[in-house]
Structures are given as C-alpha cells and as structure tokens.
Structure 1
C-alpha cells in the first residue's frame, strides 16, 4: 500500500484519502467555493504581509490544498520535514505536526480549506527560515553576537515551493556546508552515546601524570577507553599508552599536549556527553546563522579555539595561535564578519577612550608622568606638556585629551596590525606579550585579536600581490615609519564562536565555552522546544 512517509511512519492511503475528501467540498457551487476560499485565505493571511502578498499576486490559487498531485506532494514533503525537524536540532513542537494533521482532517468546508491553506504556508515559512538561517535571533541572546543573519525573502520561499520539485526544494533548505553535515553526524553519535549511558564516572579532581597509580588513574583509564582514546586494558598505572592518549585528547581539545592531567585538561575530560551534545546543537544553530558565502579566501577567527586561520578554497593554508578578549567588563570579543582591506606596518597605538579614562587617567591623577611611553595630545593633535596639566581636575566624562603610543617594538600593537574597519574597533595585531600564547586559555586582550605569528600571517596575505612578500614586508618594517599597505584583493574576516568544530580529518573537536555564550544559546533553544535526543527517561 502506498502512502506518505512521515517521521518513520506511513500515512496509509485511506487516511490521506479522508483528508482529501474532507478538503474537496463539492456540495457548494464552484463560483461560491472559489469566493469563499479567497475570502478565507485573505482573512487568515491578513496578519502576515508576505503571505497576503503571495496569495494576492497568484490570484489566491492554492499551493497546498488543491486536489492535484503537486499539492499532495507539497503537503507530504512538508509533513515529512516538520516531523523530522528534530534530526537538525530544531524544535518539532514549534511546527506541531500532529496537531496540523488533525486540523487538516477536520476540514469540512471551503472556508476551512482556505484557513488550512494559510496555516500550511505559515508552518512552512517558519520551518524554512528556521532550518536555513536559525531559530533564534542572536542579538537577543547576547549583545556581542552582532553577526548579520542572511535572511531570505519569505515570499521567495512560497514562490519557490510553488514552482519547484518539493522533495528537492526541502533538501536544499539546510546549510550545504561540510561543517553542517559533519555536525549532523556528530549529533547522531552523541545521541547514541547518551542513550547508552555516556562515558562513565568522572575522574577525581587531582593532578595526574606519568607514573601515577591509584583509583583516580583507574577512573582516567576507563574514561579514556570510553572516549576511544585508549585501547581496552586492565593497566592500573599511568603508563606510556595512557600518556599518548592524554596528549591526543589535549590536541583534540585545543590544549597544550604536555600529557599532564590537571587544570583545564581535567575539566575537559570530565565534561559529560549531554553537555557535548548541547555544544553540537548550538553549533548547528550557529552554522545556520552563518549560512552565507564566506569567500574563496577568507580569514576565520574562532574565539574559543584561540586561533586565526587563512582558508583558501576550503583548505587551511595558514594557522596561528591567538589571544582574544578577556571575559570581563567590556572586553569579550564580539562575533561578526567584515572585510580586511589593509595592514599597517610599524603602527601607532591610538589608545581607545575607555582605556584612556578607565586605566590611564587614574594613574595620571596620581602622577602626571605615569605611562610616560604614551604621548598625550589635544584635540588638534598637538603634544601636551604633562607638567602643565592638573589631571585631578578631570573625570572620565570631561577628560579632553587623546593618547597615542608611537611605533616601537614595545608598542601595544607590536609591529603590524591588520585592519578591517568596523564600528566595534576590532582588528588583528602583533603584540610584545608573547608569553600569553603558551597558555591553554588565551583570553586576555581588551577585545582585539593578537596573533602569535603576525609576520607569517602578513606574508600569507601579501603573497597574492607580490613575488617577494617577506622581502617587501621587511623592507617597510626596517624604515621604522608607520606605513599603510593596501590589500589589492580585500579578504573577508569572520570572527566566530564554536565550541564544537570539525577538524581536517572530519572529526569533531570541542572547546571550552569561554564567554558562556553557548550556554545562553542552549537555554534559548531549549526554551524554544529543542530537545536532547538520547536522553534516558
């Protein structure tokens, strides 16, 4: 018997026939039916300008509830999609497939059919936007998620489903990126793990290294075996095999691979499967927010990963460690995309107003010669004689001066900065504080992104416009003069935040939620109706 596949079950043809029979009301004259249908559609669509415009433009022709094969195919694909929405980490209850089917079965008149037509369009539009560009509005979750979401025209969804092969149209809605597909696979794997009980008991909070023995080592052994980092063994000592397993775990979680279990390594080993699954679901939502063309060459900064990468045609061609904004006050780095169009070699540091008033002004009140490496200038750019100013007269509100650190090796920006002008005043740059790059957690800046290998980063960017990028860069550097170098082909920069991310081998790696943003997103997704598959009752 044929039928429509709906989330693992088949609607028997007899059931669908009942729906069709209820929809096709023939007891009223044809013209009256048409008029009643149009009136019902116009009434039901009155609160949605896009739906109203679509039906007005198509002469109030049905696309879901007509008795033809095309409408039946659209209904079937919509029901299948919303029943299976949970496989994408979407809130199935939001689309109410069971209730929607019941309401279709209850259609008894032409007016009912018109109301059902619009309801199907509303559910379709909600689902289409959710799966293509996300369920949530990022700025409402965290004010520093300032990414512009690439929303599609809602009317285009309706005209698209009306003129396309339905199954193909629905298949094309989710993001087509390799990352999205990899996350879907990881979601299934984490759900299976969660259903089977996870990775077992936590490892006790104690420092462990090679040669250690005792219950904590046994707990670590069992945890590593469950995570597929260690072959099954009865060993009770922290031996070479366990050391190698720990190092691989550390590499897979963005940590220094010293083989010592303590601090951040212990914290990450003890994260449970449920939390990892939440990270995957959040990453899927973030990938939907980021469902746009990223550029054949682009720069990707993943804040929780503390890295900056140059990506060419989907391949990472350069990678360096990074320091990002500290998790306090106004310092966390925002998430957004822009376009890098130049670099400045031997830059001056024009001290941001917030640092001037919050950090330097208090010191100047105590000692006018504080921060002597910084030049104080007036509104016309003239140097101010510190000893001629009574700094105690000024507050953060009325301080009239600016501050600038001239080019030097000790400059806060180091010897080069990379500019993608934006209203958040965020850029990438060198730094004299090289020791911070050795840390596991590298969130120390005022918001900008510091690079461990800024010269090599510059050479990579310049390689597209000169045969000798290193020689050209070093020639300008030796002058000591502040020099702007334009990029002949601007490069998109994407500052993202992913605690679950796929590596080059196609495996999902995890990072700490350094700003707590993913926790906020998960809570919002859960409130919207997203559920964890594999949770045991």
Structure 2
C-alpha cells in the first residue's frame, strides 16, 4: 500500500486535466493502451484525457474498485479475470507517465469487466446450453464509465449487483454452505437404502445428525426413527420438492446425502441466473414458471396469488423446455392442436408409413387447409423433408392441448396448456412433454388471468367453453411470463429450497463459471 501511494503521489490533480492534452505523454499513453477498445478510447477522449484512477485525488475510486474485486469471489464471480493483485503491482511499478497511462487503462478495463459480470452475468448462456435463450441486458461500457466518473464511488459499485432480495439471500446462503463444507458440519452420508418410522440404530443416528446439522431437527440423542425424526424428514422433503411422506426412501436419501459443495454450486448458478435477469422488469403481475420446480405461479406485487403444478419438457434432445421471458397475450379456448412439424415428421410419418390409419385422432391437412383422405396418400414416397402435409387435432376433451391453451407467441412454439393426461401430475419428477408446459389447474389459471377484466371470470370462460368452438380471448393487459430454471431459490423468509437439476443446466453453468475462474472458496471461519 505504501508503494502504491508513493507511485501516485506525484500524479497531477484532476484540476490540471486541461494540461492532459492529446500531446502529453499520459494522453498518448492512454490512447495507445486503449488501442481498439472504442468505449475506453472515446471515454478518455471526451474528458480530454483527465485521469479517473491514477491521481492521489482518485483514491476513493481505487478503494471502491479494489474493495469490490477483493470480494468478487463472494458473488461467485471469476476473481482471476480482474487480477486485483496484478493491478496493484502495476500501480506500484509506475515510474513514468506512460506507465501511469497503462495502469489507468488497465484499471478501467478491470472495472468494466467487473461491472459487466456482476450486473449481467460472467458467462454467455447460449454458449452453455442451447435451451437457455434468455436475452441479456448488458451495460453500455462508455455510459458505465461516464456514470461512475460523476458518482459516489462506493455507492455506485455496490449498486451494480442485482437489487432483487433473492440475490442477497442466496449470497448469505453461499457463506453458510462454504463454512459447512470447510468444517464438515453436515457429517457423514447416511448409509442406508431406505429408513422408515420405527427403525433404529447407526443409520438412523446418521440421519438424525444430518437433519440436525441442516437445521431440520433440534438437538437430539434419539437412536430411533421417532415422530420428531419423521417430522424433520417431511420438512426436508417439502423443501426439496419430494413427496412429504416422512419416509427416507431412495430419492429422499439421495437428496439428504448431497454435500454442502453440491448445494453451493446450485446457489452460485442461481446467482448467475439472477444476474442474467438483472434489469428485466418482471412486471407487477407476472407468470413465473420454474422448470425444475414443476410449478406455474401468478405473482402480484411480489406475492404468489395462484399456483399450480405443471409438467415440462422431457430431458431429451430438443424436447427440453427453453428458458426465456415474453408477454402472454391471449388464451385459446377449445383449441385445435396444430402438430409441430418436428413431431409430425419424426414421430407420426414413420407410423403412417407402416399403417396409414395410425394416429386416427389426427386429421391430415394439405397446404390449403383441406382434410386429406389417408387412403389417397402413399406415405412411403415421402421423407421428413418432402412430406407436404400438416397434422391437426380438432377441439375435443381428448385433444392433446386439453380445453385451453395460453399464448405468448415466441419463436420456440412454447406455450402453457391443459392436458387430458392428468395422471402425470401425480408423479414427483414431471418432465414428460415435448417442450410446452402442461398445467394441472388450467381452468383456475384462466379464471385468475381473466379476473382483471371481468367481474365473473368463470362464467366468461365457460360461456366460450360451452360452444365447443375454438375461440381466442385476449388479455386486455398482456402479462409477462418468465420461464426460469432455479434449482436453489429462497422463500420470502430467506430459507433456501432446492430442486433437482433435471436437464443438467446448472451443472453446465457451474462448469462454465469454474472454467472462467470461479472457485468454491471453502475456508473455515
């Protein structure tokens, strides 16, 4: 620190910025160091090459930056990317105005990298998984530098992180998990395949101790799977999206035996996801579909006002449900199912080539919209590329979309809808669709949406339903819909709930962050 102060002590005060003309060694050095980085070059040119970081008067800015870089790992950010130690060494080594210019630009580059990462994510989602098609609002580098130049430095840097309360709650959870991982506080894995009420012995003690360590059970000396242990298992199951039967079966024990490190990776991935969504206006009323939670919720002014379980895309090829945000504009009552082209040629065409009467519940339609007689078509002559027909299922109780679908037109042909396959909602892992989201309570969902525009939403809905005719009903005010993927998410009280990584996306996010330089940072204390 003394070397740093000495290196900067003779640098001119910003008041003499008029002397930092394009002819000064400092200005020339900044221009050279900025190179093809247009945002940085334009910023310094616009301020007549007045320094931002490297005068004695710039100490508050340097302190704010280095304080943030030193804590970058706490946010699950790749601290090596910003190289705080290298910047300090570069400042300490300043001997000439050209040295100072190079340090000046290096500090600006580090600041912009940090500002970008903490405000909008350190990774590119589409490069991690083709199903993460979320649009990211990246900060403008020139505007960021200009705003910082006139702001209170520490406050500006603090405000770069997402302001969503969930971000701070996840960050606190990451500290707790790091301590638990470093100290081994959760103890050994439970060595059993299944444990039921009435069991006793060593594995029950392991289960008891792990539940105590994770906060689900008060301190206890019991060796029996008694009522208190059963209640704790049920609470754990609820928090982890498991059937709350109070039995520590194979799936429950698999989740109980997950390490603090595993949970920490989920939390770090969730923080990155929140950074990707930072700056996005969720909407005072919005629809929140968390894919690994298998739920769809309507949220009004931050509170869940409606919730239903859902079925999402199966974990297979292009059937995984993508992640993005859009606007729900209307619902279709008594919908026709227009079979997606991919399903038509991949699934139904091979069936029709073997048996022209296969999939008899579907109409085969030509490009003019006319129903084609199956007997008039030689299906064997067509390939997936040349098949000239569409397939449609008319409105009915057995329609694949059920009796209503909810539309937010998007390039991925994803929407929410009813389904005749009600039994799937009873399953614990509900990934069975071709990508769209099936709702267990679609009528109630429709009523909740229509409640903003009619005094009797149920009567309005059923008036259209009873016609049996396909009808579109517009939402007078479109509702933002967010298809998200959080395997770690805080309750309103800050308690973290976890879900299984059904598509492996969070594991891929953490791998990308780790490749960028993120470390778990497991230190005791």
Which category describes the TM-score, using the shorter chain as reference length?
over 0.9
Q: Post-superposition shift, 1:59?
A: 1.5
Distance 1:129 1:78 in 2: 13
Q: TM-score, normalised by structure 2?
A: 0.96
Q: Does 1:279 align with 2:289?
A: no
Partner residue, 1:251: 238
Is contact 1:341-1:490 (8 Å) kept? yes
Q: Does 1:418 align with 2:372?
A: no
Deviations 1:483-513, CA, capped at 9 Å, x for gaps = 0000000011111111100113321111111
Secondary structure, counterpart of 1:311 in structure 2: strand
CA contact (8 A) 1:309 1:320 kept: yes
Cross-structure match for 2:187: 200
User: Which deviations, in whole Å up to 9, do the C-alpha atoms of 1:281-300 show, x marking residues without a partner?
Assistant: 11111110010221111111
What's the CA shift for 1:87?
1.5
Task: Work out whether residues 20 and 48 of structure 2, in 8 Å CA contact, stay in contact via their aligned partners in 1.
Answer: no
Which of 448, 453, 476 is equivalent to 1:460? 448
Tell me the equivalent position of 2:89.
102
1:224-303 maps to which residues of 2 (within 5 A)? 224-291=211-278, 292-303=280-291
**1: CA distance between counterparts of 2:71 and 2:23?**
34
Counterparts of residues 55-454 of structure 1 (less than 5 Å)? 55-68=44-57, 71-291=58-278, 292-454=280-442
The answer to whether the 8 A contact 1:264-1:440 is kept is no
Q: How big is the shift at 1:308?
A: 0.7
SS at match of 1:501: strand
Instruction: Tell me the distance in 2 between the aligned counterparts of 1:351 and 1:205.
Output: 47
Taking structure 1 as the reference length, the TM-score comes to: 0.94
Deviations 1:80-101 (A, max 9, x none): 1111111211122111111111
| Alpha-carbon separation, structure 2, partners of 1:40 and 1:191 | 43
Match of 1:45 among 34, 38, 61: 34
Q: Distance in 2 between matches of 1:274 and 1:495?
A: 27
2:16 corresponding residue in structure 1 = none
RMSD of aligned C-alpha atoms?
1.7
* Structure-2 separation of matches of 1:511 and 1:249: 12
**Separation in 2, partners of 1:204, 1:351:** 48
How far apart, CA to CA, are the structure 2 residues paired with 1:431 and 1:159? 53
> Could you tell me how far apart the structure 1 residues matched to 2:21 and 2:288 are?
60
Give the conservation status (yes or no) of the 8 Å contact 1:324–1:449: yes
Aligned in 2, Cα 1:263/1:361: closer, same or farther, shift over 3 Å? farther
- Residue aligning to 1:497: 485
Farther-moved stretch of structure 1 (525-534 vs 416-425): 525-534
Superposed CA deviations along residues 384-420 of structure 1, whole A, max 9, x for unmatched, are 1011111122221211111001111111111110000
Alignment of 1:471-510 (within 5 A): 471-510=459-498
Contact 1:336 1:494 in 2 (8 A): yes
**For residues 455 and 21 of structure 2, what CA distance do their matches in structure 1 show?**
76
Is the Cα contact below 8 Å between 1:343 and 1:418 reproduced in 2? yes
* Counterpart Cα distance in 1 of 2:267 and 2:110: 25
Instruction: Report the CA distance shift for 1:398/1:171 in structure 2 as closer, same or farther (over 3 A).
Output: same
* Displacement after TM superposition at 1:218 (Å): 2.5
Look up the SS of the partner of 2:466 in the other structure.
helix
Unaligned segments of structure 1, at least 5 residues: 1-10
Which of 497, 501, 506 is the matching residue for 1:513? 501
Cα distance, 1:330–1:336 mapped onto 2, change above 3 Å = same
**C-alpha distance in 2 between matches for 1:307 and 1:31:** 59
Question: Could you tell me how far 1:195 is from its partner in structure 2?
Answer: 1.9
Asked if 1 retains the 8 angstrom alpha-carbon contact of 2:7 and 2:95, the reply is no
How far apart, in 1, do the equivalents of 2:414 and 2:88 lie? Answer: 50
Counterpart CA distance in 1 for 2:205 and 2:125 is 43
SS of residue matched to 1:488: strand
Shift of 1:15: 4.4
**8 Å contact kept, 1:22–1:108:** no
2:326–2:408 CA contact under 8 A, matched in 1: yes
Report the CA distance between 1:455 and its aligned residue: 0.8
For residue 31 of structure 1, report the CA deviation from its aligned partner.
Answer: 7.4
Give me the whole-angstrom Cα distance separating, in 2, the residues matched to 1:405 and 1:274.
48
Q: What is the distance in 2 between the residues matched to 1:343 and 1:491? A: 12
CA distance in 2, matches of 1:31, 1:451: 65
How far residue 329 of structure 1 moved from its aligned partner, in angstroms, is 2.1
Query: Greater shift after overlay, 526-535 or 400-409?
Result: 526-535
